[in-house]
Structure 1
């Protein structure tokens, strides 16, 4: 085999270039602490790095979603607390207004305060989150879901859907409740039925608290009532009840229900109880209607109208009592939502803690796969540096080997 000078040069140069490349890679490992910089460094390990990196990136995004969801839910919880406080003030004013010693100017003053409360409630219902999105618009993009018309009527222009955030694989958490369920679709009365006095009543009868006392009896008879009942009073407080078709209401024995009402007592039949006060006149009536809804803004408007209309003390007491029931139903809905928000926040806290633990585990695994052993890397760096120096010295000697040098 013939060894030429150019071949020896090329071999020496190739050896030095390879050693320089290996030395540079080792220097990079020592500097960065990373063993796999390109897939060719360790094809199998590189695949693991890609998989772990994807998992860590997904967990980081879920953690960011949790942070955003926490902020939004805490804002909603704070807003609902303010709403409850405002409704407490409205309820207190309604109870004050029933006081028979108030003058017309006093009632108008209360009406003015209720008007301010209604405006404040609209403002709270239009609260936005940190990104400027309405809290209670559902999934709608409108910034003001509650609009006040020229007639003072408040309408809802959002939708009934709830906003969600993805906080895990297949796990979503509600981050926003639609305002329709919180403020608009409020069950009337006690949630099961609503009561009212006849507009032609002449006595001093006031309908107070009412409730379902026997759910089974109520459920089995409400459909047969045709939508409600009418209680009619006779002389001496005697009363009878008829369904919506005018047919007498019968007890379990087939006899018409009825009895004698006494001031401060109650009337009970078909699983419901209605407390009353005052003295009814003959011919006075009380109506019972099933279901129905009333938004809280209409409730406040009704209270204002009643205070400004100059009605009698008895009429005002009945009207305000019905609106207080609506306030109570709204606050009950809000309280239930606050409990639900607390549960969601607890879920987010637990999920965030899980991601923090998993992130530590995955980062450790990534370091094990892609990280360089500092002791090995430094040792290799020393050996490769010595080998390169040796190659360079050999090359310096080889390049001097030529025919001309021999002839000299």
Structure 2
């Protein structure tokens, strides 16, 4: 094939221009330390870079959300811990006020401190973060969650919305705890109690007094059938009889079955109540079913609503030396129906 002089020079010039462009491009990459200065340099690579940039932005957002959640959790835990400490101090003051050696001045000092604790607890329930957002208001971050009514009661002003933040692909976590969850749903763990009424008090079985896990079920079902008798028939089973001696074991978790080999803090749920069961057997008893059955059976507990208690204290203006040292509720139904919720003054 014959190549003309003109064609030869044109081909050489084209190759030279291409080589010069490549050298120039390489020089630009070295100078800028960037391989892709324009999308035309490498369309596929440019698309990959854009994808990685988007992923990087998303990961940074996830990290920011996680940091926000961690900060809020620490602030919330600090507030709740402080509230617990204040309540414990208030309990100490109330119990101390019943001391017969206390003077009116001592009781007035206690009353003043209780008033301060009341304000402190309200302030903690209305805690804010560094941006001024209320921790326990739900989605109403600019509204104080609790307000004091004219009658001295507290009302919740927030909502039940949990603010969710993405912390991963398809994964979200709540960044807040609402006042509804933290304070409005609190249940009294002393509302029920258990008493060993049959069998040796040998420590083989311990059964907690219970805590309310479902207030609605507790109010409608548990109270109607109490007191109950929980009788252990073997190292793996128990029965529950209500006040009319009706067998209601089927309403308990696992229908009255439990594992003696898993002895620590087994949860029993029954009519809105949750109890913790502990079985304490020796090594030999664990190894022998008959020995385990003999150690556990015939233990019977009575489960029911804890009796109401009434505390008494002298008013600061009372100059009498007489003291009411104890009180007993003799008619629970009448007490629940008629006794003033705010207490009574005996003159």
Same fold (TM over 0.5): yes
2:176 & 2:118 partners in 1: Cα distance?
A: 22
Does 1:80 find its partner at 2:126? no
Residue 169 of structure 1: how far off its partner (Å): 0.6
Residues 138, 176 of structure 1: 8 Å contact kept: yes
CA contact (8 A) 1:83 1:121 kept: yes
Q: Give how far 1:44 is off.
A: 2.1
Cα distance in structure 1, aligned partners of 2:65 and 2:327: 61
Verify: 1:31 aligned to 2:31, yes or no: yes
Deviation of 1:137 after TM superposition, in Å, equals: 0.6
More helix by share: 1
Gaps of 5+ in 2: 194-207, 228-242, 248-300, 311-324
Q: 1:61 to 1:289 in 2, by over 3 A?
A: farther
Taking a change above 3 Å as real, the CA distance of residues 289 and 32 of structure 1, as seen in their structure-2 partners, is: farther
Cα separation, 2, equivalents of 1:220 and 1:81 = 28
Pairwise CA distance, 1:104 = 4.5
Q: Specify the SS of the correspondent of 2:37.
A: coil
What is the CA–CA distance in structure 2 between the aligned matches of 1:187 and 1:289, rounded to whole Å? Answer: 21
Q: Which residue of structure 1 lines up, in the alignment, with residue 221 of structure 2?
A: 223
Q: For this pair of structures, how many residues does the alignment match?
A: 240
Where in structure 1 are there 5+ consecutive unaligned residues? 194-209, 230-248, 254-267, 291-301, 313-408
The alpha-carbon deviation at position 279 of structure 1 amounts to 7.8
Say if 1:139 and 1:158, in contact at 8 Å, map to a contact too: yes
Q: Distance in 2 between matches of 1:189 and 1:63?
A: 38
Asked whether the 8 Å contact 1:221–1:270 carries over to 2, the reply is no
Change (3 A) 1:228 1:71: same
Which moved further from structure 2: 44-53 or 182-191? 182-191
Q: Give the direction of change, closer, same or farther, for the CA distance of 1:224–1:147 in structure 2 (3 Å limit).
A: closer
Q: How many Å separate the matches in 1 of 2:225 and 2:104?
A: 37
The TM-score, its normalising length taken from structure 1, stands at 0.48
Q: 1:16: Cα distance to partner? A: 7.7
Hey, what's the Cα distance between the residues in 2 that align with 1:145 and 1:227? 38
User: Which residue number corresponds to residue 286 of structure 1?
Assistant: 332
Deviation at 1:170, TM superposition (A): 1.1
Q: Counterparts of 1:224 and 1:211 in 2: how far apart (Å)?
A: 14
Instruction: Please give the alpha-carbon distance, in whole angstroms, between the structure 2 residues aligned to 1:122 and 1:279.
Output: 32
Larger-Rg structure: 1
* 2:146/2:154 contact within 8 Å kept: yes
CA positional deviation for 1:167: 0.6
Q: 1:212 to 1:133 in 2, by over 3 A?
A: closer
Q: Structure 2 vs 1, CA of residues 270 and 22 (structure 1 numbering), >3 Å: closer, same or farther?
A: closer
